[in-house]
Amino acid sequence: MSQRRAYLDVGVGETRGVVTLDGRAERLLIARDDDVAVQAQGAEVVGRVRKVERQLGLAFVELGQGPQGVLNLRPEMGRVAEGQALRVEIRSESRAGKGASLRLVSEAEGEPRLVTPAPAIEAELAALAGGKIVTGPEARAVADAAETEALASEFPLPGGGSVAIERTRALIAIDVDVGERAAGDSKRVSRAANLAALGMAARVLRLKGEGGLVVFDLAGRGHDGAALLAAGRTAFGPDNPGVAFGPISRFGTLELTIPRRRRSVAELLLDADGRLSARTLALRLVRAVEREALADPGAGLVAHAAPDVAAAAASYLEALKARFGARLEIAAGPERAREAVEVSAR
């Protein structure tokens, strides 16, 4: 029977929650101190309708901060007019230039504002995994490992082979490779790899926070469609409601759609060029400073980073100084590689 455990890492500037499934990270939830509250999944907001596109059945709603949200118009809503105030819930967060998806709660009055904040990460962890939530150094180590895995693109399968997961603008492409699985009947080997790939990919996509259209390029030919679809529905069951499968095509591909709810981990941690953002590196640096400060309470410490990372870390380091004193400082090195963050004793 599958077992889920929850971990909560509360750090300077950022809180991370992890749910593991049988010891492997399954979900990574990240909240940063400067997140826009009216854009968070689960928040209820009073917004104002900026534009109505009746032919498309959409209303674009100003939320007060950040990009406008999108409300799908339905006949039972009655007439929605431009300039009208509505109370809405954030159903899925904005991503890649697309506004948040909204659910209509009721009519409202007044200016755009937050009414009910999104659930805290601790509450989400309790709902997803139940039981005791692990904190402290163990939770930090689990969260660090989850970040690393969430940004990876290739994942080994038990018994051999691998899956490669690539996000494109249109879809998530997943390639199944049998690799060096034990020799035997090729059809049986391919079937085992495909079944393992469905379970692996379902967990990893939840960890990455990815959704939308997903296409598996299955291994081998002559697939057992009924068995693969049954396994897929079980593997992606935790992503319901909203998961939908298509039949396996004559080209050996399996398509499904997964609801998008939160921003993906890649969008949170990477910049527009696909590199770790200055803020992500700054938070990693600050965690390293905190670790060294706890390990050696009397030492003066210097955090070394590239200029943009040092600038992003400055305010976080001030928060640490309030806890550990003025023995901490940061040094910006123009020649230093962006990801080469480190801490040394003075």
Report the Cα–Cα distance between both ends of the chain, in Å, rounded.
51
| Pick from 61-75, 224-238, 285-299: least confident | 285-299
Spatial separation of the C-alpha atoms in residues 138 and 136, rounded to whole Å: 6
Can you read off the two tokens belonging to residue 97?
Answer: 């230039």
Give the sheet arrangement for strand 253-258, strand by strand: 154-156, 162-167, 172-177, 212-217, 253-258, 244-245
Domain parsing of the chain, residue ranges: 4-36+122-145, 41-116, 151-265, 270-345
Is the Cβ–Cβ distance between 25 and 142 less than 8 Å? yes
Q: pLDDT tier at 130 (50, 70, 90 boundaries)?
A: confident
Count CB-CB contacts under 10 A for residue 181. 19
Is the Cβ–Cβ distance between 88 and 69 less than 8 Å? yes
Can you read off the two tokens belonging to residue 117?
Answer: 């904040």
State which fold the 41-116 domain adopts.
Answer: OB fold (Dihydrolipoamide Acetyltransferase, E2P) (2.40.50)
Polymer length of the chain: 346
Mean pLDDT of 277-288: 95
Can you read off the two tokens belonging to residue 276?
Answer: 């770790």
Query: 44-53 and 342-345: which strand pairing?
Result: unpaired
What average pLDDT is seen over the chain? 93
Report CA torsion sign: 34, 39, 43, 48: positive
Q: Residue 182: pLDDT above 70?
A: no
Q: How much is the CA Rg of the chain, to the nearest whole Å?
A: 23
Mean pLDDT of 116-132: 95
Partners of 58 in the β-ladder: 53, 72
pLDDT tens track for 233-272: 999 999 999 999 999 999 999 999 999 999 999 999 999 8
Mean pLDDT of 195-208: 97
Spatial separation of the C-alpha atoms in residues 121 and 140, rounded to whole Å: 15
Tell the CATH superfamily of the 270-345 domain. Answer: Ribonuclease E, catalytic domain (3.40.1260.20)
At a CB cut-off of 8 Å and minimum separation 6, what does 173 contact? 165, 166, 215, 217
Q: Residue 181: pLDDT above 80?
A: no
Class of the CATH-defined domain 151-265 = alpha beta
User: For the stretch 69-101, what's the b/e string if a residue is b when 16 or more beta carbons lie within 10 angstroms of its beta carbon?
Assistant: bbbebeeeeeebeeebbbbbbbbbbbbeeebbb
Alpha helices per DSSP H over 132-277: 137-150, 186-208, 225-235, 265-269
